[in-house]
Amino acid sequence: MSTLSHSVVNLVAYGGSYLWILVRAALRGETLGTVFMNVGLFGSAQVCIQGLASSLSELYQNTIYLEDYLRLCEITPEIEEDVHGVPLKGPVLSIAFENVSFSYPGSKRCALRNASFELDNGEMVYFVGGNGAGKSTAIKLLLRLYNVDSGRITINGRDIRDYSVARLRSELGALMRDFMHYHLSIRENVVVGDLSKADNGMLIEEALGVAGLKGKVRSLPMDVDTYVGRAFEEGEDLSIGEWQKLGLARVALRSAPVVILDEPTSALDAKMEESIFEYFRDGCGRDLTIVVSHRLSGARYADKIVAFDDGRVVAIGKHEELIRTDNVYTRLFRTQQKRYLGAATLPLEAMEGTGA
């Protein structure tokens, strides 16, 4: 029913009701006071009925949300916590993919095909490749969001399926592309990555500094206790880039030895991107940093680049090594290079000399 039709029906119903009160009073010879009393009673009943209808409507909507919540609670994780799993202790010396193949449930397409590579302690590693090449899939398998179909993934030479799932994930600090935007305070958004540091204001401030949010936070009415998002009236809206910085602060606060960043700077300016890469490139107390990105400006600083194409690992090495051969990394790098330099790209020798 359209808004106009709904208004006409309401007008006819209310007008008819008041007309009936007047006609009834005239036929019965009721006094003017009785008429006003009946009109007042009808108005009060109208308000009560509208309130009841509104409450029933809200109850129905909340019931729908509750059904979704109950269905979510009934979902059984496919990867159960193994109470007998070995705890992951000590530094992460190496992570290796050994002939790993994987297809997502319900899909016939192989997202990873016999992928093999090794990451060593102290490295900053870039995963590069086109859309659907298998970069993020490799990260999800490392986080044990899924189990491999064949092959194995090892940490310190041991299959990750031997480790306790909870303990394994506690050692991996990940910021995914579609990370959660919590409509909570800035402090709560940061400490959700490590609740044990919720009362450590110094560490929270340091994490915000790493992410380049100190100035923004100080300009807000309640500093780190300012709510963000529009779920609350007093909430401050953030830009996409500021949300991404908040996610980076969440990872910086977390003391996980392995940091995984999936498109961590896609919404940041070049200066902030450089600052973030310098922080993680310098180690920042981590055993290993893995960056998944389509923007290759920071790849030249990586200790190792793993190039994916159609689910396969097609090239492994440093920027200076890969740029000399024809591979997916070289093609992607030169394509992005043209955006800045135009059709006439720098010759290889000049590019190597400038660190481009």
Residue 305 has pLDDT above 90, yes or no: yes
Report the chain's mean pLDDT, rounded to a whole number.
81
Residue 193 has pLDDT above 90, yes or no: no
Range with top average pLDDT, 13-22, 154-163, 229-238: 154-163
Backbone angles phi, psi at 95, to 5 degrees: -130, 130
Q: Is 271 exposed, middle or buried (0-12, 13-18, 19+ CB in 10 A)?
A: exposed
Q: Is 319 exposed, middle or buried (0-12, 13-18, 19+ CB in 10 A)?
A: buried
| Structure confidence at residue 103 (pLDDT) | 94
For 308-319, what is each residue's pLDDT tens digit? 999 999 999 999
Predicted confidence band of residue 30 (pLDDT cuts 50, 70, 90): low
Residue 352 has pLDDT above 50, yes or no: no
Give the Cβ contact number of residue 101 at 10 Å: 15
Residue 182 has pLDDT above 70, yes or no: yes
Decide which of 41 and 322 is more confident: 322
- Cβ partners under 8 Å of residue 256, min gap 6: 170, 171, 172, 173, 286
For 76-89, what is each residue's pLDDT tens digit? 777 766 667 788 87
Helix runs in the chain, H state only: 3-28, 32-74, 135-142, 165-170, 186-191, 201-210, 214-218, 240-253, 270-281, 319-322, 328-341, 348-354
Residue 33 has pLDDT above 80, yes or no: no
Distance CA 276, CA 96 (A): 26
Predicted confidence band of residue 118 (pLDDT cuts 50, 70, 90): very high
